[in-house]
Amino acid sequence: MENNKFLPISREECAQNGWDVPDFVYVSGDAYVDHPSFGTAIITRVLENAGFRVAVLAQPDYKSCDEFKKFGRPRLGFLVSAGNIDSMVAHYTASKKKRSYDYYSAGGKMGKRPDRAVIVYCNRIREAYGDVPIIIGGLEASLRRFAHYDYWDNKIRRSVLVDSRADILTYGMGESIILRIAKLLDRGVPVKKIRNERGCVYLCSKDDDVNYPVAAEFDFNKIKEDKREYARAFGIQYKNQDAINGKAIVEYYDNKKLVQNPPAYPLEREELDAVYALPYTRTYHPVYEKEGGVPAISEVKFSITHNRGCFGGCNFCALAFHQGRSVRSRSIESVVREAKLITEMSDFKGYIHDICGPTANFRYPACDKQLKDGVCSSRKCLVPTPCPNLKADHSEYIELLKQVEALPKVKKVFIRSGIRFDYMMADKSDEFFKKLVRDHVSGQLKVAPEHCSDNVLKYMGKPSVKVYDKFREKYFTLCEKFGLEQYIVPYLMSSHPGSTLNDAIELSLYLKNQGCNPEQVQDFYPTPGTASTVMYYTGINPLDMKSVYSPDDYREKLMQRALLQYKRPENRNLVREALIKAGREDLIGFGSECLVKPDMRVGANQNTVKKERSNKTKNPYQKSQKNAKSSVSKQKNQKNFSKDNRHSLAKKGKKRG
- pLDDT tens digits along 309-335: 999 989 999 988 899 999 999 999 999
Query: 605 pLDDT band (50/70/90 cuts)?
Result: low
Residue type, 460: M
**Distance (Å, whole) CA 241 – CA 232:** 15
Q: Whole-model pTM?
A: 0.89
- Cβ neighbours, 10 Å, residue 438: 15
Report which of residues 418 and 588 the model is more confident about: 588
Task: Answer whether 311's CB lies under 8 Å from 375's CB.
Answer: yes
Cα of 458 vs its chain's centroid, Å: 20
Q: Is the peptide bond before 384 cis (omega within 30 degrees of 0)?
A: yes
Domain termination residue (choose one: 152, 169, 200)? 200
Q: Is residue 244 part of a domain?
A: no
Domain termination residue (choose one: 200, 220, 251)? 200
Confidence (pLDDT) at 149: 98
Confidence (pLDDT) at 377: 86
Confidence (pLDDT) at 655: 32
Triad 118, 120, 123: Cα angle to 5°? 105
> For position 22, which CATH number holds?
3.40.50.280
Q: Is residue 216 part of a domain?
A: no
Q: Which residues are 305's β-sheet partners?
A: 356
Domain containing residue 104? 11-200
What size, in residues, is the chain? Answer: 657
Query: 604 pLDDT band (50/70/90 cuts)?
Result: low
Q: Is residue 248 part of a domain?
A: no
Domain termination residue (choose one: 442, 458, 482)? 442
* Domain co-membership, 169 together with 53: yes
End-to-end Cα spacing for the chain: 49
DSSP state of 616: G
Task: Answer whether 418's CB lies under 8 Å from 436's CB.
Answer: no
Q: Is residue 85 part of a domain?
A: yes
Helix (H) or strand (E) holding 512: helix 501-514
Residue 443 makes CB contacts below 8 A (sequence gap 6+) with 486, 487
Task: Answer whether 38's CB lies under 8 Å from 171's CB.
Answer: no
Helix (H, G, I), strand (E, B) or coil at 618: helix
**Distance (Å, whole) CA 524 – CA 521:** 10
Backbone angles phi, psi at 83, to 5 degrees: 120, -165
**Distance (Å, whole) CA 143 – CA 172:** 9
Q: Is residue 422 part of a domain?
A: yes
Percent of the chain whose predicted confidence (pLDDT) is above 70: 91
Query: 640 pLDDT band (50/70/90 cuts)?
Result: very low
* Domain co-membership, 87 together with 170: yes
- Cβ neighbours, 10 Å, residue 336: 16
* Domain co-membership, 433 together with 508: no
Question: Dihedral sign, CA of 468, 471, 473, 476?
Answer: negative
Task: Answer whether 205's CB lies under 8 Å from 255's CB.
Answer: yes
CB contact burial 275-296 (16+ within 10 A = b; e otherwise): bbbbebbbbbbeebeeeebbbb
* Domain co-membership, 426 together with 501: no
For all residues of the chain together, what is the average pLDDT?
90
Q: Which residues are 522's β-sheet partners?
A: 493
Confidence (pLDDT) at 602: 54
Query: 516 pLDDT band (50/70/90 cuts)?
Result: confident
* Domain co-membership, 426 together with 512: no
Q: Specify the number of domains making up the chain.
A: 3
Query: 617 pLDDT band (50/70/90 cuts)?
Result: very low
- pLDDT tens, residue by residue, 343-398: 999 999 999 999 999 999 999 999 999 999 999 988 899 999 999 999 999 999 99
Residue 150 makes CB contacts below 8 A (sequence gap 6+) with 88, 156, 157, 528
- pLDDT tens, residue by residue, 104-146: 999 999 999 999 999 999 999 999 999 999 999 999 999 999 9
Q: Is residue 251 part of a domain?
A: no
Triad 466, 469, 475: Cα angle to 5°? 145
* Domain co-membership, 504 together with 438: no
* Domain co-membership, 188 together with 315: no
**Distance (Å, whole) CA 534 – CA 87:** 20
Q: What is the mean pLDDT of residues 163-175?
A: 96
* Domain co-membership, 425 together with 506: no
Q: Is residue 209 part of a domain?
A: no
Confidence (pLDDT) at 603: 55
Kind of pairing, strands 168-170 and 200-205?
antiparallel
Task: Answer whether 234's CB lies under 8 Å from 531's CB.
Answer: yes
- Cβ neighbours, 10 Å, residue 458: 18
Confidence (pLDDT) at 4: 59
Q: Is residue 542 part of a domain?
A: yes
Query: 637 pLDDT band (50/70/90 cuts)?
Result: very low
> For position 326, which CATH number holds?
3.30.750.210
Helix (H, G, I), strand (E, B) or coil at 229: helix
Q: Of 544, 554, 382, nearest to 471 (Cα)?
A: 382
